[in-house]
Structure 1
Amino acid sequence: MSDTVWVSSVMSDYSIGNRQGIREKFYGEDWAPPTFQLGVKPQNVLEAHLRHNRGETLERTDFPEAMYVFAENNWKRVGDLFCAGPFYAVKGSLADVLKEFDLGKGGLLEFPIYEADKTTRLPGPFYLLNFGAVKDSFVPSETRSRLFPRRTVERDGYDLWATYDLEDGDVALTAAAFEGADLWHERKLESGLFMSGRLHDAIQAAKVKVKFRFARVRIVSGTPR
């Protein structure tokens, strides 16, 4: 069992997915047009996107069926973490690292990306990142960074917080964070992507070219409150 936990703010980096030069096809739908103007997604896709961002495991049919490249120069600049429609996907060294760790009920789902003809498949492999673990070890009262309430027990029936610009030791979790998956979301903290020390160290050792913006988590005693 690793004795460290890390939180990444990568999910708050909206430059990921910007002008990637690829577009998607959802199951039962036509190919999206070859344009950087993404437009409004259907309601079912928006709902799946919200669940994806909370770390909930999705069905394969919630994700794009496939993608194609319409701007090759843009696609060549895309890193090992990218967006497949509104969802996260991985390739290269990041995918190789993630395959070796416990990602919970979800995991990596291989999917095709085609050339502009929508027929010639790129070598890949490419994987949809189907989040599969949500833990409940976040301790708001012990967290040092400023917290912004997104939901409250009084109004919504549960608590949800957001925080930004994290430094080492800002976020507090209980030791329950050491149990289970190596990659997860916290039920009461929005947009933070948490990982075990083992996974963090493997990503760093592989020199994955993704700006994860890591901060070390502080482990505290007691129960979340």
Structure 2
Amino acid sequence: MAQTRDAEVWASRAFMDSTRVKDFVADPLPTGMTLGEMAKLNETGEPMSAEHFPKEIFARKFGPPIKTQADLVRAAGVVVVSAKCADILRQFDLGKSSLYPIRLFQYDRKTSVEGEYFSLNVGERKDAFLPSETLNLDVFDSGKMRMAPNLHDDDIALGPTALEGPDLWVNPPLINMFFLSDRLTQALRAAKMSRVFGFRKCRIIEKG
């Protein structure tokens, strides 16, 4: 086995970051699907239409007014991105992934949270993850896998197929993780979104 050095793929630890989770709720979805079921499908790279996502979400608790949200948060089971982030994502190959408008409201359900936001449906998956070459990996009886919270560059190993196809994807059975091409990562970095996404470089492994 040999590591390639001329191409890079990045993992985001945003889904592992508890500070990305914001306390919002949503009314029942028209599909009858629960928010938890929607979130699980999104985590596995299932393409979903707009009716699978709430159009509005509301602060769960009364308190000080909620300020403009970061460029990526998780709220009411939804991956919520800012308009600025959505504009960057649209410039790249998202494959079957989609962005749907969503409005955020204060506890009174009338006052909007400042900013424009979109739900991100991660609708692409790749079969590139190499568990046997990956460091600090937790494996569950269910077959699902999860990286340790203190994720470092080069902990995750991927095969060369990670370099093909869309610029944003997930790779079941690895959970709480999504991947980005180098060109998309650099665009988000240039927009000063590195802290929000928590990029970690992956190793690309090919057979020698």
Say whether the fold is shared (TM-score over 0.5). Answer: yes
Shift of 1:78: 2.4
User: Root-mean-square deviation (CA), in Å?
Assistant: 2.8
Instruction: State the structure with bigger RCO (CA 8 A, min sep 6), 1 or 2.
Output: 2
Instruction: Kindly provide the amino acid, as one letter, of the partner of residue 97 in structure 1.
Output: I
Percentage of identical aligned residues: 31
Task: Indicate if the aligned counterparts of 1:111 and 1:128 stay in contact, CA closer than 8 A.
Answer: yes
Shift of 1:46: 2.1
Aligned positions of 1:97-176 closer than 5 A = 97-114=88-105, 118=109, 124-143=115-134, 145-151=135-141, 159-164=143-148, 165-176=150-161
Paired residue for 1:25?
Answer: 27
How many residue pairs match? The answer is: 200
Q: Is it true that 1:67 corresponds to 2:57 in the alignment? A: yes
Paired residue for 2:172?
Answer: 187
Which residue, 14, 19, 23 being the options, matches 1:15? 19
Shift of 1:118: 4.2
Unaligned runs of 5+ in 1: 30-41
Q: Aligned equivalents of 2:199 and 2:14: distance in 1?
A: 8
Shift of 1:163: 1.4
Shift of 1:195: 0.3
Shift of 1:171: 1.0
TM-score with structure 1 setting the length: 0.76
Paired residue for 1:55?
Answer: 45
Paired residue for 2:3?
Answer: none
Unaligned runs of 5+ in 2: 1-5
Shift of 1:177: 0.4
**What's the secondary structure of 1:138's corresponding residue?**
coil
| Structure-2 change in CA distance of 1:178 and 1:28 (3 Å) | closer
| Structure-2 change in CA distance of 1:137 and 1:188 (3 Å) | same
Shift of 1:105: 0.7
Instruction: Kindly provide the amino acid, as one letter, of the partner of residue 85 in structure 2.
Output: L
Task: Indicate if the aligned counterparts of 1:27 and 1:65 stay in contact, CA closer than 8 A.
Answer: no
**What's the secondary structure of 1:15's corresponding residue?**
helix
Q: Aligned equivalents of 2:188 and 2:172: distance in 1?
A: 24
Task: Indicate if the aligned counterparts of 2:66 and 2:106 stay in contact, CA closer than 8 A.
Answer: no
| Structure-2 change in CA distance of 1:68 and 1:47 (3 Å) | closer
Deviations 1:101-122, CA, capped at 9 Å, x for gaps:
2222122111233566645666
TM-score with structure 2 setting the length: 0.82
